Structure 1
Amino acid sequence: MSQRRGRLTRPLLRDGSGQLVEVDHDVAMAAVVDRSRSLLAQRGGLSHGFYTSGQLMAEEYYTLSVIGKAGIGTPHMDGNTRLCTATAAAAMKESFGTDGQPASYDDVEHCDALLLFGHNVAETQTVLWARMLDRLDGADPPALVCVDPRRTDVARRATVHLPVRPGTNVALVNGLARELIHRGAVDHDWIQAHTIGYDDLAAVVEPYAPDRVAAICGVDPDAVRAAAEIFARARAPLSTVLQGFYQSHQATAAAVGVNNLHLLRGMIGRPGAGVLQMNGQPTAQNNRECGADGDLPGFRNWDNETHVAELAELWDVDPLTIPHWSPPTHAMQLFRYAEQGSIGFLWIAGTNPAVSMPDEHRIRQILSSPDCFVVVSDAYPTETTALADVVFPAALWGERTGTFTNADRTVHLSERAVDPPGEARSDLTLWLDYAERMGFRTRSGRPLPWWNTAEQAFTEWTRATAGRPCDQTALTYDRLRARSGIQWPVTTAAPGGTPRLYTDAEFNTRTDQCETYGHDLLTGATVTRREHRAQHADGRAILKAVEHTTAPGAPDGDYPLRLITGRTVHHFHTRTKTGRVPELDDHAPHAWIELSAADADRLRVQRGDTVRVTSPRGALDLPARITDIRPGTVFIPFHYGDHAANRLTLTAWDPVSKQPQLKLNGVHVRALPDTTTPPRHTPHERPDEDAGSDAAT
């Protein structure tokens, strides 16, 4: 396999003997097109699926969205953003009507209270943590509330640390909302003018007194009161939310609960006061806004015929071509359809589901099945490329031109600085080549897509945003070259961008404007257009809450400990790139398991001992670390393909966001005989300190 520093540099094709062999680009693409045409002729667009990443460019996402929706006509499109950011989008849709972060990173400088809900920012967003540390170490530090079952670096700096029992986040946010009401901290005039649903919310949260919350969540009731007091007294509270909420039980309901706190006090759209429903990947926002995650581009509503007609006119295709007869296919369904055989063509770009998806053994069986033709475009060989039928070497950032949008809606232009190695090509180039060879056409006979360069693709993308909440019609490459880093919306009325949304307390909840009509947060049942119109949201935010329920896959007699998975600061996702950096690999070369001191004593496990972790789906042998994680909970980083934490996780997802519940299943841990090994210490993990900061919630 030709490589440069481990890179893929030539296409690979699985030959008759089952081996991946090097071929030229034309041979590889011809094989892809031949299988694609055959399946479309035999079974139509539903035979095709696309699974992408949160690391591509807006131009690539939008191009794929057009090819998939208007060229092929498939709803089977999603990204690994489903694993990390789907709940962020879902929560904002439920509360505010559409996706789009209300707050800005600049609010870190203006807030007087920081509340981090399941967001171990010290490990997952180190630059943002450095910004927060500047405030915490400054002259007027904000109060800091940390919700995390582990004593992370964030927890060590917290004014209040709530080490909640995994799967109980809804009980906590309900309790905090009740405390705001009982403390008289609710802005009733603002609520009356700018929200709906207050009475129902107040009734739901009333039973969640601090003592009851403490019993459910396994925390001190006084800590619940203290956290509520910080939020109630704050002049400008800023909340962030990430995987501790998103990958857990009742994910969307819990994230919506954080939105509720800000709406109850009218603390949104102001400097320092707002919500950041965080992204787990650098361009996850692009995936969502461009429609490569299955949603319609520009935050359009798949169930709104007018929105579909807008796209059909823009793309010059029949509206019936664009899939909108049911909700878009989410990743868990997509792989299920491939498993059942209805999807026979699956293109995976820039991600490694053979390690990152739950129930790893099942996913690898699906990818290696002869019934599904798997195409992978990636920069490095991975566990997933090893199972593919065709592999295209892909260009990385710096080797291609495009734009990306970060978590607070800031758009940047990244221009090609160097040539990609060998025959590597950008995903945009690959998909445009595929579409041209497939012969996709508009109704008037124009090639679909009709653009050829990244800048042309960006121009077409901005046209698709016109009049939508993510309007970028005043953005151009030249403007981004002059000043890269502009927050959408960017329009003729706001050519310099928009730092914060909802400054006028006008939300995107009008029935003809919203991205979704909403869901029952408990069951996931959809709200109909008629039901939504009957609510008369009419530009007001929607308050909604549900009761806490017991999490599925909970610990029991056979599997008594709760497993949570997450990141370490030294690696990103499945170590495709970071595992090749010696400095990073030296700090965290292999997986481990974290146990509380109480659980370690009970199991007779010492630091460095090898233990076997077992779930109904598989087992791992890992060295133990004794940390300040809450008793009854264990932690394993998910990065390592040779010891994949997802060998143990279950196939289950949130009923609204469809995000996998990776922090819920019970496991059994036992010490293995005669396997004690000396603990390996690094500069980040000293023997006289707990190693709890080595991985993220």
Structure 2
Amino acid sequence: MPATRDSVADIWGPRTPHGPEAEWPVRVDEQIDEPPERWVQAGCVLCSNGCGLDIGVKDNRIVGVRGREEDVVNKGRLGPKGLHGWQANMSGDRLTHPLIRRNGRLEQASWDEAMDLIVTQTRDLCDRYTSGAIGFYTTGQLFLEEYYTLALIEKAGLGTPHMDGNTRLCTATAAAALKETFGADGQPGSYEDIDVTDCILHFGHNIAATDTVLWMRVLDRRAGPNPPKLIVVDPRLTATAREADVHLAPRAGTNMAVLNGLQHLLIQGGYVDRSFVEAHTLGYAELERTVRAYSPQRVEEITGVPAADLRRAAEMIGTSEGLVSTVLQGVYQSNQATASACQVNNINLILGRIGRPGCGILQMNGQPTAQNTRETGADGDLPGFRNWANKDHVQELADLWNVDVDVIPHWAPPTHALEMFHLCQTGSIRMLWIQATNPAVSLPDLGRIRKILQKRDLFVIVQDAFMTETAQLADVVLPAAIWGEKTGCSTNVSRVVHLHHKAIDPPGEARSGLDIFLDYARRMDFRDKDGAPLIKWSDPEEAFEAWKDCTRGRPCDYTGLSYAKLTGGSGIPWPCNEEHPDGSVRMYTDLHFATDPDYCESFGQDLDTGAPKGEEKFRALAPNGRALLRSTDYIPQQEQVDEEYPFLLTTGRLVFHFHTRTKTARAPTLNAAAPDDFIQVSEEDAARLGIRDGEWLKLTSRRGALEAPARVGDIEPGMIFIPFHFGYWDNPGRARAANEMTLYDWDPISKQPHFKHAAVKLEKVEAPTTRQPEPVDLHPDEAPAPGRLAATVETVSQAVANAAGAVASTVSPPRAHLADYIGLLLESEELLARVFEQTAETHVNTPDMPSECALMAAWSHEGMKSLQPFVAKYGERQEGETERLEKALMVQRTSKNFDLLRDLHDLFLLANESLVSAAILEQAATALRDDDLRDAVTRIREHNERQREWLFGRCRQAAPQTLVVPS
């Protein structure tokens, strides 16, 4: 196959060195099967880098690609996936007709049959259970116009809060960290900053494998004059780490300690730009107090990173004039994800390195159109980076769409992916529409996911181009057109918008996502409040023009863009409007951040619990355009190694594959380069266990197991790495999916799953013995819908009983003596800890309960310990009420949704009890001038407030679904 290079043997291609004074030189990469008849402008959608390319077409076939030399993102370069991924379009196993499950088998159907079935099912569920019984799980592979149409259907057509995508697995923390620090989503920096900076920090970002063209950009600077210093933080010795001047390899789950340690050294070394911090940030004093405890020696104890290496990294960062920081899954999918990502933001901010060339932050995405899911609200957010908690923002959308504001589901936080699948598991969501993604391989704890997708009372629609592991479990399969076969826009990490023109026709009867969504909306007859069709466009360009109106005045302003403007040259970065007609290379050049309360996308959350801060508290901060320095302590992850499971598993990506290999495994060149799974172990562990390269190993966690050949070296002792791409559609005959073993748990703010730390055990085997999972219940005796769903309509006969009334007369202690209140607070904290622990045990399968309840219980145990000296000092309590409180509230319930709500309700009452006692004691201690007692009860009160905030938010989240939708 004619090509400019062998991109398997030479992944990143030849160097084109340049210094900071020169532009990145052009280098055009090309891969063709045969000479094309014409070239069609598009972009690459096989990583988040978003390179511009042209598609070579002959006889309605794609015959090759070439990089666009005029494009600002890649200047003509393409990585292995970009050069070969198009081969999947030509795969012989494309889905070409709709399929409906009849008597347990997927059989060919017409579009009318498939869509009528979906519409009938939708209406039946809405009538029986409300639209809260319907969920959408989308992708990072659609185009902007498709996402916006889907978001409008979900938010204003059906009015369900249940929409998220697989971008939750890769990019949710990027969005969350940007909101927490800068008030809104949108990258402050750009790829161009790499061209001029003198220092680069890659934290948890194996850029050489995940963003090959961006890595070429780094390598070209490193090969030229005045190369930038490079610091890489990764537990593995990757190609990225080998290039680094300093490589820090922390233990899994300890990123926060490393970052607090770096900030400690930067402050101690006098590198902070204090005039910048004072003028443009809030929170520095608290940050300084927090990181004071993270000396290099303590960081080494927690993380394993040598103190000398941490000092070298801090000195490199501190003495540089610029700094480009990039972050990816090593942070996003690990312990304290959002909190850690915010610390990377902090580093740039305390040094004043933002808003100018060579000084930027790139909270990277994993999916190619992840930025579009966030912009349009297809990930559950509000379109245009609007704020769910701002009533005016919700009203803006209602006015734009001409619908009643109460139609838009803003009464509870949007449902994120793992919570959505949990609601499917409990029977609360009864229809799930999955587009262009493969959760049966990509989500954690796959045994659990397969059982959910096979439930008799869950109607599953899969919209895809191939028969994936997920499509095999669907009730309806819709054949989808993919990249190259439809027109639309995508936006990359650097905010650059590319227009992809349709190059060829899709195979058979496959349709674009936009056509499918428009057909569904027409059949559902969605209307605005004047009776006109809710969706007022019929093609991609009309959808784009409607989207522009939605972005007007928002951070992601597209109003200066058009299909005509995006055709023929380079992609253009937003914001693009009258003020910036040619787009904006970087944001915040005026150092005014998006934190104005009337403008911001979020009022912030507690970094440890995820509890919303609330509008009142945010306005009281008066940020008004200043960035927020968020800080917190390191907290160990919940699942730790032990004697039975002595290794920590981390998962990640390979340079030749994307997501679950749905496309890349169908590109022969890419599949041949990485045909199978492997288990990477350190040389030290391999020597101890007698493991050699290529020998078969079995890896087991508390959730599942897999078997794969060994790969020895380039990883820290005690760590295990496996790529997550591999599943079962190509029938390897054994269990090999990494997510058989991963945790069904998430970050408290971004709700991104924890893929980067799971306790596992390792053993040698002679040959594979574990069979690949097989569907066990495809309902062969049942027709699909509506018969697949239960015929009875469940109703909620009463609301949650008001426990407060039953307890109110018993919680007030009859005596106000100091000793009584100290004793009351002590026993309240003890009871609170026990009920949190009991709730965690009762609701062990509700994903956030074990981890969050463990954290809350630990706080109460800490409070109990801190009060003991004052019991000795002031005496024992004479009388209290906790026995009756315990009898009323420490009730052993079941794991059902309604009982979870009751348990949360009771915990909220208990936290209130402690909070009141702590507040009273705080005042008494002040009057007594007992500073030690005041400090102790102040700490307890602060923890009680955080417990209450989380519990109150969790109750409000659970209540609409539990009380309104029968389950």
Distance, in Å, in 2 between the alignment partners of 1:368 and 1:468 is 42
Is 1:663 the counterpart of 2:749 in the alignment?
A: no
**Pairing 1:122–2:215 present:** no
* TM superposition shift of 1:675: 7.6
1:397 deviates by 1.2
Kindly indicate whether residue 697 of structure 2 is the aligned counterpart of residue 608 of structure 1: no
Task: Report if the CA contact (8 A) 1:346-1:372 is conserved.
Answer: yes
- Matching residue within 316, 333, 339 for 2:425: 339
Q: 1:27 aligns with which of 113, 131, 140?
A: 113
Of residues 8, 25, 38, the one that matches 2:95 is 8
Q: For 1:586-601, what aligned pairs fall within 5 Å after superposition?
A: 586-601=672-687
The Cα shift of 1:323 comes to 0.7
Contact 1:565 1:636 survives alignment (8 Å): yes
Aligned counterparts, 1:150-549, within 5 A? 150-549=236-635
1:646 aligns with 2:646: no
Of residues 42, 60, 63 in structure 1, which corresponds to 2:128?
Answer: 42
Instruction: Supply the distance in 2 between the matched residues of 1:210 and 1:537 (Cα, whole angstroms).
Output: 32
Are 2:97 and 2:509, in contact at CA under 8 Å, matched by a contact in 1? yes
Q: Secondary structure at the match of 2:567?
A: helix
Conservation of the 8 A alpha-carbon contact between 2:91 and 2:666? no
> Within 1, Cα distance between the matches of 2:417 and 2:93?
29
Superposed displacement of residue 351, structure 1: 0.3
Partner Cα distance (2:727, 2:589) in 1: 45
Contact 2:707 2:768 survives alignment (8 Å): no
C-alpha distance in 2 between matches for 1:514 and 1:224: 35
Deviations 1:233-283 (A, max 9, x none): 111110100000000000001100000000101101110101000000111
- State the Cα distance separating 1:483 from its structure 2 match: 3.6
Mark the runs of 5 or more structure 2 residues left unpaired by the alignment: 1-89, 729-735, 770-967
Q: 1:317 to 1:629 in 2, by over 3 A?
A: same
| Shift, 1:509, TM fit | 0.5
Q: Secondary structure at the match of 2:201?
A: strand
- Paired with 1:653 and 1:4, the residues of 2 have a C-alpha distance of 36
Amino acid at match of 1:541: A
User: Secondary structure of 2:224's match?
Assistant: coil
Which moved further from structure 2: 478-487 or 622-631? 478-487
CA distance in 1, matches of 2:609, 2:422: 21
**Cα separation, 2, equivalents of 1:5 and 1:142:** 46
* Superimposed CA distance per residue, residues 209-229 of structure 1 (whole angstroms, 9 cap, x where no aligned partner): 111111111111111001101
Per-residue deviation, 1:457: 0.4
SS at the partner of 2:230?
A: strand
CA contact (8 A) 1:11 1:391 kept: yes
Aligned residues: 673
Tell me, which stretches of 5 or more residues in structure 1 are unaligned?
677-697
Aligned AA (2:99): L
CA distance in 1, matches of 2:305, 2:266: 19
Distance 1:197 1:96 in 2: 13
Partner Cα separation in structure 1 for residue 478 and residue 767 of structure 2:
45
SS across alignment from 2:191: coil
Aligned partner letter, 1:522: D
Q: Distance in 2 between matches of 1:26 and 1:391?
A: 13
For residues 511 and 443 of structure 2, the distance between their equivalents in structure 1, rounded to whole angstroms, comes to 26
CA deviations on 1:123-147 (whole Å, 9 max, x unpaired) are 1011111111111111221111000
CA distance in 2, matches of 1:397, 1:608: 37
For residue 5 of structure 1, report the CA deviation from its aligned partner: 1.7
Deviation at 1:231, TM superposition (A): 0.8
For 1:585 and 1:405, how far apart are their aligned partners in 2? Answer: 27
3-state secondary structure, aligned to 1:623: strand
Native 8 Å contact 1:413 1:484 kept in 2: no
Over the matched positions of the two proteins, sequence identity in percent amounts to: 54
Deviation at 1:155, TM superposition (A): 0.8
Alpha carbons 1:64, 1:431 under 8 Å: kept: yes
Q: Post-superposition shift, 1:620?
A: 0.9
User: Which amino acid in structure 2 is aligned with residue 659 of structure 1?
Assistant: Q
Q: Which amino acid aligns with 1:499?
A: V
Structure 2 Cα separation of the partners of residues 602 and 146 of structure 1: 28
C-alpha separation in 1, matches of 2:92 and 2:318: 53
Instruction: Measure the CA separation in 1 of the matches of 2:641 and 2:674.
Output: 29
Deviation at 1:672, TM superposition (A): 1.5
Distance in 1 separating the partners of 2:743 and 2:500: 38
Is the partner of 1:579 in helix, strand or coil? helix
1:348-369 Cα deviation digits (max 9, x unpaired): 0010000000001111111111
Residues 97 and 109 in structure 2, CA contact (< 8 A), matched pair in contact too:
yes
Question: What is aligned with 2:717?
Answer: 631
- Which residue of structure 2 lines up, in the alignment, with residue 551 of structure 1? 637
Provide Cα deviations, 1:594-639, integer angstroms capped at 9, x if missing partner. 0001111222211111111000111111111101200000001111
Aligned partner (choices 655, 665, 671) of residue 585 of structure 1: 671
Equivalent position amino acid for 2:547 in 1: W
What is the distance in 2 between the residues matched to 1:416 and 1:606? 49
Residues 552, 664 of structure 1: 8 Å contact kept? no
Q: Secondary structure at the match of 1:14?
A: strand
Larger Cα Rg: Structure 1 or Structure 2?
A: 2
Q: Structure 2 counterpart of 1:651, which letter?
A: Y
Contact 1:96 1:508 (8 Å CA) reproduced: yes
Partner residue, 1:672? 765
- Paired with 1:512 and 1:46, the residues of 2 have a C-alpha distance of 29
Counterpart of 2:773 in structure 1 is none
Aligned partner of residue 370 in structure 1, secondary structure = coil
Cα RMSD of the aligned pairs, angstroms, is 1.1
Query: TM-score under structure 2 normalisation?
Result: 0.69
Give the Cα–Cα distance (whole angstroms) in 1 for the partners of residues 666 and 311 of structure 2: 46
User: Within 5 Å, which residues of 2 pair with 1:71-90?
Assistant: 71-90=157-176
- Could you tell me whether the CA contact under 8 Å between 1:20 and 1:389 is conserved in 2? yes
After superposition, the C-alpha distances for 1:441-488 in whole angstroms (9 at most, x for unaligned) are 000011121111100100110100011111111111111114441110
The residue type equivalent to 2:761 in the other structure is: H
SS in 1 for 2:344: helix
Look up the SS of the partner of 1:361 in the other structure. Answer: helix
Match of 2:809 in 1: none
Please give the alpha-carbon distance, in whole angstroms, between the structure 1 residues aligned to 2:768 and 2:756.
28
Deviation at 1:380, TM superposition (A): 1.1
| CA deviation map 1:395-431 (0-9, x unaligned) | 1111101011000100011111111110000001000
AA aligned to 1:326 is: A
Distance of 1:674 and 1:512 partners within structure 2? 62
